[in-house]
Amino acid sequence: MFTPHLNDYRPLFVGLDAQIPLLDGRCYRYTNLDNAASTPPMKAVQQAVNDFLVYYSSVHRGTGFKSQLSTQAYEQSRQMVLRFFGANPSDHTCIFGKNTTEVINKVARRISLAGKRNIVLTSGMEHHSNDLPWRAVANVIHVGLTADGMLDEDDFDAKLARFTDQVALVTITGASNVTGYINPIHRLAEKAHAVGAMMMVDCAQLAPHRLIDMLPLDHPAHLDFIAISAHKMYAPFGTGALVGRKDIFEHGDPDMSGGGTVEIVTLDHVVWTEPPEKEEAGSPNTVGAIALAAAIRQLETIGMNQVARHEAALTRYALERLQAVPSLKIFGDSSPSNVEDRLGVIPVEITHLSHFLVAAILGYEYGIGVRSGCFCAHPYILHLIGLSSEQAAEVRRRIIEGDRSDMPGLIRASFGLYNTIEDVDTLVKALFDVSTGKYKGKFIQDKVTGEYSPVGWQPDYTQYFKL
């Protein structure tokens, strides 16, 4: 049914052969299918960090050799990020921050939302990080979704037409962290610009899997801002980046002030420096920036088209195989033929079992890491599982009382570049066993967290890592 056209990228990654303990006493190779949350480091990243640490020193104002070298490496990383996303350094800036969440919050605090243009148009499929920061500063309108959870572009058009001269910014996820759907970001950008709004794309999910081109500012379909997290791009050293319009940050005060943000300070006056330094208060995460640049270089060497092909083949295979698991429901698009327009993020449930329990069995008995719950996208999950507002209110009441035992949610398997056909087979076999009651352990639920753990057993983590 499937002719895999896959390369083995495993040798490029750190820790994939690590053995972990299972409930039955065996040690087993871990199968990580939680890449939408965080990805393991690439060896090229580990190597770059190790090489750099020998020369690591303060950046920007240090005068010694190591400081100069560190400054050069930090700034070179910035240029590599700009280039990777098709940004033009004379119009765009790259501002490093902790992660996608932090840099989206920065844009929310820095763009002008005063006066008539105070609407931010986002969608019902966003991660909380591209929803809550806007609620704090703007009049937020959510674009609706189709029954199977895609962005409803008719509703997008209708809302844009209705609020034409009030929309300051459209901000949409490039790809969903729940269903893997990829949104038509450039088409939406063109529509946003036509009414005078700016376009931001949350690229936390999209960036590790597809080539993103911001396009020149005078292109009607350009992106004004994108946000990324390096820990989802095989460079988990605490960095994220905002790539976006420099002019927006040239005006006004930075959202956070302190060392590095100024030209000159007297007791009664401050002259801010230029972006990006103006927006990076305090000592930056130089190691994180270098790690991100090393991951970008490795992804460029492989080629993002090849990354997309590999992951599409895995996703197609997984969707085909999962159909055979009894009582398993796939949410969103389950068709193996539509894998070009989506990522390898697959949300499922086993209809008669709690998602918390399924995730626990996969972890403790099969050594498979997935995620269960609502994936920081509560409104989207409620939409996908079809919870009424009365049912949602009841869930809210129970959570406030400290009872998450019936918390709605799904199980999410998400692929990265290094995953293989064998990883998919391991998942499908495990889900088959779980669904047909073939698992062996006894599990007990913690009502407060909702999570299950095996009765009478806990791994000794200090055998594997100790400080």
| Positions marked active-site | 376
Cβ proximity to ligand PLP: between 202 and 423 the closer is 202
Its sign, for the CA torsion 66, 69, 73, 74, is: positive
Could you give phi then psi for residue 455, rounded to 5 degrees? Answer: -70, 125
The residue behind tokens 């069995």 is 361
For position 39 contacting ligand PLP by CB under 6 A, the verdict is: no
Contact region with ligand PLP (CB under 6 A), list: 10-18, 93-101, 246-254, 402-410:
93-101
Which residues neighbour 157 within 8 Å (Cβ) at sequence distance 6 or greater? 191
Angle between helices 185-194 and 153-162 (to 10 degrees): 20
Query: Token digits for 423?
Result: 């990883």
Cβ proximity to ligand PLP: between 177 and 419 the closer is 177
What per-residue string of b and e applies to 99-108 under the rule 16 or more CB within 10 Å gives b? bbbbbbbbbb
Choose which of 131, 152, 202, 333 interacts with ligand PLP (CB under 6 A).
Answer: 202
Q: How far is the CB of 191 from ligand PLP (least distance, A)?
A: 21
For position 183 contacting ligand PLP by CB under 6 A, the verdict is: no
Cβ proximity to ligand PLP: between 214 and 428 the closer is 214
Is residue 294 within 8 Å of 41, Cβ to Cβ? Answer: no
Which residues neighbour 78 within 8 Å (Cβ) at sequence distance 6 or greater? 94, 96, 276, 289
Cβ atoms within 10 Å, residue 389: 8
Contact region with ligand PLP (CB under 6 A), list: 16-24, 42-50, 200-208, 437-445:
200-208
Could you give phi then psi for residue 138, rounded to 5 degrees? Answer: -135, 175
For position 32 contacting ligand PLP by CB under 6 A, the verdict is: no
For position 130 contacting ligand PLP by CB under 6 A, the verdict is: yes
DSSP 72-113: HHHHHHHHHHHHHTT--TTTEEEEEESSHHHHHHHHHHHS--
Contact region with ligand PLP (CB under 6 A), list: 51-59, 94-102, 366-374, 405-413:
94-102
Please give the distance of CA 428 from its chain centroid, rounded to a whole number: 24
For position 177 contacting ligand PLP by CB under 6 A, the verdict is: yes
Number of residues that bind ligand PLP (CB under 6 A): 14
For position 229 contacting ligand PLP by CB under 6 A, the verdict is: yes
Q: How far is the CB of 23 from ligand PLP (least distance, A)?
A: 28
Q: Distance between CA 216 and CA 224 in Å, rounded?
A: 9
Contact region with ligand PLP (CB under 6 A), list: 50-58, 99-107, 163-171, 336-344:
99-107
For position 179 contacting ligand PLP by CB under 6 A, the verdict is: no
Nearest alpha-carbon partner for 426 in 342, 352, 348, 369 = 369
Q: How far is the CB of 175 from ligand PLP (least distance, A)?
A: 7
Cβ proximity to ligand PLP: between 44 and 204 the closer is 204
In terms of Cβ atoms closer than 10 Å to its own Cβ (0-12, 13-18, 19+), residue 115 is exposed
Nearest alpha-carbon partner for 35 in 172, 242, 272, 207 = 207
List alpha helices for 251-325, DSSP H. 286-302, 304-322
Contact region with ligand PLP (CB under 6 A), list: 95-103, 328-336, 404-412, 445-453:
95-103
Q: Distance between CA 431 and CA 349 in Å, rounded?
A: 10
For position 129 contacting ligand PLP by CB under 6 A, the verdict is: yes
Q: How far is the CB of 417 from ligand PLP (least distance, A)?
A: 17
For position 419 contacting ligand PLP by CB under 6 A, the verdict is: no
Cβ proximity to ligand PLP: between 414 and 426 the closer is 414
Choose which of 31, 35, 93, 99 interacts with ligand PLP (CB under 6 A).
Answer: 99
For position 35 contacting ligand PLP by CB under 6 A, the verdict is: no
Q: Distance between CA 385 and CA 368 in Å, rounded?
A: 24
Cβ proximity to ligand PLP: between 131 and 365 the closer is 131
For position 93 contacting ligand PLP by CB under 6 A, the verdict is: no
Which residues sit at the interface with ligand PLP, rule CB under 6 A?
A: 36-37, 99-101, 127, 129-130, 173, 177, 202, 204-205, 229
